[in-house]
């Protein structure tokens, strides 16, 4: 299960608090992605980054923010502006944007009460 | 933009039978179609993919077929086993420069 890691596996927060999810990869991949997965639904793209210091909004970016200061790291912050933050969050990486296989991390299950 | 539909949403088969999952896509420019398997509580993993210059690809019990004219592609699993039980996602994209668009997933249950 090496290559791309996410921490923590489970995260609990009170409503109104910002929370940051970690994603690290040692695959030397240029592109990284954040997806949200809700029960019975597919993977919806939140943000993606093709290179360091650059990132783009995906389909559901409202209420989320990211940074890409290092090639290996792509943390996601779920802000208090996200109306329904409880979900399973998956990070992924690939050699380049849209190129070849996306390797997924193990995911973080966030519960906000 | 690209839109991917996937059917059925749930599928139950008897062990040893075949399973077929179908996806349709909207952007005729898409030319790369991967399939991911996600077991309960685990990360999605690529099981097979196909590029638009190929009509069919097979890997042991798994095969994928592509019909570019009709803009649909299908996953075929033969001789199903209990360990095939999982959620399967299809996706479509251009190979260069665009992100994957995933289908909503199919929950496959293989009954012993």
For tokens 């389909």, what's the residue? A59
Distance CA A105, CA A22 (A): 10
Looking at every residue in chain B, the average pLDDT score rounds to 93
Tokens of B32: 């790369």
Q: Does B40 touch chain A (CB under 8 A)?
A: no
- pLDDT (tens digit per residue) in B38-89: 998 889 999 999 998 889 999 999 999 999 999 999 999 999 999 999 999 9
Pick A29 or B100 by higher pLDDT.
A29
The predicted structure's pLDDT at residue A23: 97
* Element at A12 (helix H, strand E): strand A10-13
Answer yes or no: is pLDDT of A1 > 60: no
Q: How far is CA B66 from the centre of its chain?
A: 11
Name residue, tokens 């380049």: A96
Of B54, B13, B38, B53, residue with least CA distance to B103: B38
In tens, the pLDDT along A41-68 reads 789 999 999 899 999 999 899 999 999 9
A42 closest CB neighbour out of B34, B97, B102: B102
Q: Does A48 touch chain B (CB under 8 A)?
A: yes
Contact A104 B98 (CB under 8 A): no
Per CB-CB distance under 8 Å, the chain B contacts of A90 are 43-44
Q: What is the pLDDT of residues B8-24, one digit of tens each?
A: 999 999 999 999 999 99
Report which DSSP code applies to B3: -
């Amino acid at each position: 299960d090496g290559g791309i890691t996410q921490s923590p596996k489970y995260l609990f927060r009170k409503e109104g608090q910002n929370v940051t999810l970690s994603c690290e990869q040692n695959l030397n991949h240029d592109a990284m992605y954040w997806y949200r997965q809700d029960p019975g639904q597919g993977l919806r793209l939140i943000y993606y980054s093709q290179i360091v210091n650059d990132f783009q909004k995906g389909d559901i970016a409202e209420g989320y923010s990211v940074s890409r200061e290092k090639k290996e790291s792509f943390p996601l912050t779920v802000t208090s502006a996200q109306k329904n933050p409880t979900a399973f969050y998956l990070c992924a990486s690939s050699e380049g944007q849209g190129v070849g296989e996306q390797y997924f991390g193990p995911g973080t299950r966030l519960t906000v009460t | 933009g690209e839109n991917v539909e996937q059917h059925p949403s749930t599928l139950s088969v008897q062990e040893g039978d075949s399973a077929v999952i179908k996806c349709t896509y909207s952007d005729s420019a898409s030319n790369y179609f991967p399939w991911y398997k996600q077991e309960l509580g685990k990360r999605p993993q690529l099981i097979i993919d196909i590029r638009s210059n190929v009509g069919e690809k097979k890997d042991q019990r798994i095969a994928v077929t592509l019909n570019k004219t009709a803009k649909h592609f299908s996953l075929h699993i033969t001789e199903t086993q209990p360990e095939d039980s999982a959620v399967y996602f299809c996706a479509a994209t251009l190979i260069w420069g665009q992100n994957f668009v995933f289908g909503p997933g199919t929950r496959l249950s293989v009954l012993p």
